[in-house]
Structure 1
Amino acid sequence: MGRHVVLGAGPVGSAIASDLLGRGENVTVVTRSGGGPEGADRVRADVADAPALSAIAEGADVIYNALNPADYNAWPTTWPPLAASILTAAEHSGAVVAVVDNLYPFGPVDVPMSAALPDRPSSIKGTIRMKMWQDLLAAAESGRITSAVAVRGSDYVGAGPSLHSLLAYARISQGKRAFIPADLDAPHTWTNPADAGRLLVNAALDEGAHGRYWMVPSAPATSVRGIADQAATIAGWPPVKLSHLPSAAVRGAGLFNSMAKATLEMAYQFHRPFLIDASETAARFGGAFTPLDESLRQNLADAGYPMGGVSRPGEEELAS
Structure 2
Amino acid sequence: MSFHLVVGHGPAGAATARLLAEQGHEVRVVTRSGPGGGAVPAVEGVEHLALDAGDPAALARAARGAVALHGCAAPPLPQWAARWPALVSSLCAAAEDSGAVLVMLGNLYGYGPQAGPARPLTEDLAPAAAGPKGRVRAAGWEQARALHKAGRIRAVEVRASDFFGPGVTDGGHLAARVMPNVFKGRPVAVLGDPDAPHSWTYLPDVARALAEVAVEERAWGRAWHVPTVPAASVRAMVGLLAAEAGTGPVAVRRLSPVLLGAAGLFSPLLRELREVRYQFDRPFTVDCSAYEAAFTVRATPLQEQVAATVAWWRERLQP
Q: Same fold (TM over 0.5)?
A: yes
Tell me the residue number matched to 1:156. 163
**Runs ≥4 residues deviating over 6 A:** none
How far apart in 1 are the matches of 2:98 and 2:65?
A: 6
Pairwise CA distance, 1:305? 5.3
Tell me the residue number matched to 2:301. 291
Higher mean alpha-carbon deviation, 17-26 vs 254-263, is at 17-26
- The one-letter code sitting in structure 1 at the alignment partner of 2:70 is Y
Q: What is the SS of the residue equivalent to 2:275?
A: helix
Equivalent runs, 1:212-291 vs 2, <5 Å: 212-286=222-296, 288-291=298-301
Pairwise CA distance, 1:133? 0.2
**Alpha-carbon RMSD:** 1.8
Tell me the residue number matched to 1:19. 19
For normalisation by structure 2, the TM-score amounts to: 0.90
How far apart in 1 are the matches of 2:265 and 2:84?
A: 24
How far apart in 2 are the matches of 1:142 and 1:102?
A: 24
How far apart in 1 are the matches of 2:269 and 2:18?
A: 30
Tell me the residue number matched to 1:91. 96
Higher mean alpha-carbon deviation, 282-291 vs 60-69, is at 282-291
Tell me the residue number matched to 2:131. 123
- The one-letter code sitting in structure 2 at the alignment partner of 1:259 is L
Tell me the residue number matched to 2:37. none
Q: Deviations over 1:117-171 (max 9, x none)?
A: 22211221110000000000111222332x1001111111112226222222233
For normalisation by structure 1, the TM-score amounts to: 0.90
Q: What is the SS of the residue equivalent to 1:239?
A: coil
How far apart in 1 are the matches of 2:53 and 2:223?
A: 23
Unaligned runs of 5+ in 1: 308-320
Q: What is the SS of the residue equivalent to 1:187?
A: coil
CA contact (8 A) 1:152 1:214 kept: yes
Pairwise CA distance, 1:287? 5.4
Higher mean alpha-carbon deviation, 92-101 vs 155-164, is at 155-164
Instruction: Pick the aligned partner of 2:50 from 28, 44, 51.
Output: 44
Pairwise CA distance, 1:33? 2.9
How far apart in 1 are the matches of 2:249 and 2:20?
A: 41
Residue 66 of structure 2 corresponds to residue 56 of structure 1:
no
Percent of pairs identical after alignment? 37
Higher mean alpha-carbon deviation, 288-297 vs 2-11, is at 288-297
